[in-house]
């Protein structure tokens, strides 16, 4: 019998009060348009997509050993989609965010051997998902139209920590967060 594997990912979880604002949008999507999958994780920007590992303490230690010297300020502006399944809030292009993502990805690969899932080399497309997967095309199109036409979204926020999330109890839980800087 092999060791139990757990699923993790690394992300920038939105800071308050922005987190509460985006969580309320996700609640509207769940109630009005039927997509509840996004309610399983706090609103975030994924830096390392889900990966499997057997040892909590080694994954937490990998996160704790990562260093970065500055917060990331992001402007979130409008909505985007992936096909007809995912609706998200778009961050404007940000070189520091791209550098952070490359740095943490390289760190986890060196420290834990974490690689792209199934050797997929997907480009980094930062986004904050507000609805995904568990709706039909009609629900998706209605939600997309509603948000793009009636719920404008534009804000700037400073991200000062990075988080490790673990899937347990049917939800993604933050198990560790570390500061991005010593401010």
CA dist., res. 163 & res. 177, Å (int): 4
CA dist., res. 176 & res. 143, Å (int): 33
Is residue 120's pLDDT more than 90?
no
CATH of the domain at 120: 3.90.1140.10
* In-domain check, residue 35: yes
For residues 133-146, give the mean pLDDT.
95
Q: CA 47 → CA 10, 116, 147, 175, distances in Å?
A: 6, 12, 25, 16
Q: How confident is the model at residue 4 (pLDDT cuts 50, 70, 90)?
A: confident
CA dist., res. 79 & res. 91, Å (int): 9
Is residue 117's pLDDT more than 70?
no
Give the model confidence (pLDDT) of 43-101 as tens digits.
999 999 999 998 899 999 999 999 998 999 999 999 999 999 999 999 999 999 999 99
Q: Which domain holds residue 156?
A: 6-179
For the chain, percent of residues with pLDDT exceeding 90: 87
* In-domain check, residue 69: yes
**φ, ψ at 28 (rounded to 5°):** -60, -45
Q: What pLDDT is attached to residue 76?
A: 97
* In-domain check, residue 1: no
For residues 169-183, give the mean pLDDT.
89
* In-domain check, residue 142: yes
* In-domain check, residue 130: yes
Is residue 119's pLDDT more than 60?
no
pTM of the full structure: 0.93
* In-domain check, residue 159: yes
Number of domains the chain is built from:
1
């Amino acid at each position: 019998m092999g060791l139990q594997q757990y699923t993790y990912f690394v992300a920038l979880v939105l800071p308050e009060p922005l987190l509460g604002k985006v969580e309320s949008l996700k609640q509207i999507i769940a109630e009005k348009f039927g997509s509840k999958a996004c309610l399983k994780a706090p609103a975030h920007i994924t830096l390392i997509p889900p990966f499997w590992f057997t040892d909590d303490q080694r994954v937490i230690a990998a996160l704790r050993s990562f260093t970065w010297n500055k917060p990331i300020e992001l402007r979130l502006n409008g909505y985007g989609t992936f096909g007809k399944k995912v609706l998200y809030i778009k961050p404007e292009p940000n070189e520091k965010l791209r550098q952070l993502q490359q740095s943490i990805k390289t760190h986890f690969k060196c420290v834990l051997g974490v690689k792209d899932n199934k050797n997929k080399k997907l480009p980094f497309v930062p986004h904050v998902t507000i609805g995904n997967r568990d709706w039909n095309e009609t629900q998706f199109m209605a939600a997309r139209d509603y948000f793009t036409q009636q719920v404008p979204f534009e804000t700037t926020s400073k991200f000062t920590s990075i988080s490790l999330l673990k899937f347990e109890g049917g939800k993604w839980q933050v198990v560790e967060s570390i500061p991005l800087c010593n401010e």
